[in-house]
Amino acid sequence: MKTQSQLPESKHFRLEQLAQGVWAAIHRQGGTAICNAGIVDLGGRTLVFDTFMAPQPGEDLRVAAETLTGRPVNLVVNSHYDNDHIWGNQAFDSPIFSTETTRRLIVATKGCEDYDAALANAPARLEAAKAAYAAAQTEPERIQAALWVDDYQAVVDAAPILHVRAPDVTFGGRMAFHGSARSAELLELAGHTPSDAVLLLPEDGIAFMGDLLFVECHPYLGGGDPGALLSSLDAVSARGSWLPVPGHGPVGTPESLAQMQAYVLTLDGLARGLVEAGEAQSKIDSLPVPPPFDGWLIDKFFSVNLHFLYQRHLPALGGSGA
């Protein structure tokens, strides 16, 4: 197994070897990968899971995969349609696999529901994020602000050269890849988006989860289905104990899936309680983040998620949301 000092370097991500022939590519602060990705040597074929938010880190990912495995990338998987996981697709010449729904959403939205506005507004948003970073008073505040600098920088960097490449091959339910070193299984689940694919390596006990899992970061629940998310996490957990690679955050532990479920259930309970008590939705903005989630990154998603969940409970509970 290669030592950390022997792994290819990129300013956009750091590589972490999880098993012989399996690496996680974790977003590096100051880079424009934004999400995490994976490299898997199947034995005779090389698979890459997700391609980052911009062509530049996607290119570094392709080079790293070729360097580590000694062959071109043969297979690329898109876990879902969000831009931070698919805008690096153009850096790869190999076939790209996704679910049918994910491909349809990529074609329809180019990975972003407000694609044109996102590209047009990115420079101004980047300057605002830089100003927020400069105004931050504490190190935790600076760390949180830096995440958004990276995010908008990725869009600014991508815009002049971006062409959104859609997947070439689609599947539904389940798909398996087999090599001389290991097999890999794609499962179609849902919850973060209408269709989310996870990549399981049963022989290694490793799961690439996409955005069905965030570790030490607030997930984004808006637009998804919290019930389906909980069921998807249950479905993966039922298959065994995994070393999980999240869509965002560090490589997790076997307990990380349960922690993600606890986050969803805790926030859903808070939102339901506010509606049942007749509290105005505006109260959400003054609520502190409860432990153990109060030290997590992407903390702005806490209130965003609560607003989303509050609105989901209103019709069933007869609240006004005033």
**Percent of the residues in the chain that have a pLDDT greater than 90, as a whole number:** 95
Q: Per residue in 51-90, is it b (16+ CB within 10 Å) or e — as a string? A: bbbbbbbbbbbbebbeebbeeebbbbbbbbbbbbbbbbbb
pTM value > 0.75: yes
Following DSSP, what letter does each residue of 138-192 receive, concatenated?
SHHHHHHHHHHHHHHHHHHHHTTT--PPPPSEEESSEEEEE-SS-EEEEEEE-SS
Average pLDDT rounded to a whole number, residues 31-36: 98
What pLDDT digit, counting tens, does each position of 77-104 carry? Answer: 999 999 999 999 999 999 999 999 999 9
The yes-or-no verdict on residue 318 having pLDDT over 70 is no
Tokens of 1: 């197994």
Q: Do 26 and 142 fall within a single domain? A: no
Q: How buried is 208 (Cβ within 10 angstroms: 0-12 exposed, 13-18 middle, 19+ buried)?
A: buried
Residue after which a domain boundary falls, among 150, 183, 215: 215
Q: Do 35 and 90 fall within a single domain? A: yes
Q: Do 35 and 78 fall within a single domain? A: yes
Instruction: Decide if 49 contacts 40 (C-beta within 8 A).
Output: yes
Q: Do 93 and 126 fall within a single domain? A: no
C-alpha neighbours within 13 Å on the C-beta side of residue 73 = 30
Closest C-alpha among 17, 167, 181 to residue 104: 167
Per-residue confidence band for 289, with pLDDT thresholds at 50, 70 and 90: very high
Tokens of 142: 């600076």
What pLDDT digit, counting tens, does each position of 138-164 carry? Answer: 999 999 999 999 999 999 999 999 999
Overall number of domains in the chain: 2
Q: Is 16 helix (H, G, I), strand (E, B) or coil?
A: strand
Instruction: Decide if 99 contacts 188 (C-beta within 8 A).
Output: yes
Q: Do 211 and 125 fall within a single domain? A: no
**Strand (E) positions, 194-235?**
196-201, 206-214
Per-residue confidence band for 204, with pLDDT thresholds at 50, 70 and 90: very high
Q: Do 19 and 69 fall within a single domain? A: yes
Residue-level pLDDT at 27 = 98
305 part of a folded domain: no
237 part of a folded domain: no
Closest C-alpha among 192, 210, 153 to residue 301: 192
196 part of a folded domain: yes
Tokens of 39: 């490299």
Average pLDDT rounded to a whole number, residues 181-191: 98
Residue-level pLDDT at 316 = 75
CATH number at residue 95: 3.60.15.10
Average pLDDT rounded to a whole number, residues 26-40: 98
Closest C-alpha among 304, 133, 310 to residue 219: 304
The yes-or-no verdict on residue 266 having pLDDT over 90 is yes
Q: Do 169 and 28 fall within a single domain? A: yes
The yes-or-no verdict on residue 1 having pLDDT over 90 is no
Please, what is the average pLDDT of the chain?
Answer: 96
Instruction: Decide if 62 contacts 96 (C-beta within 8 A).
Output: no
145 part of a folded domain: yes
Residue-level pLDDT at 3 = 56
Average pLDDT rounded to a whole number, residues 157-178: 97
Domain limits for position 133:
115-158
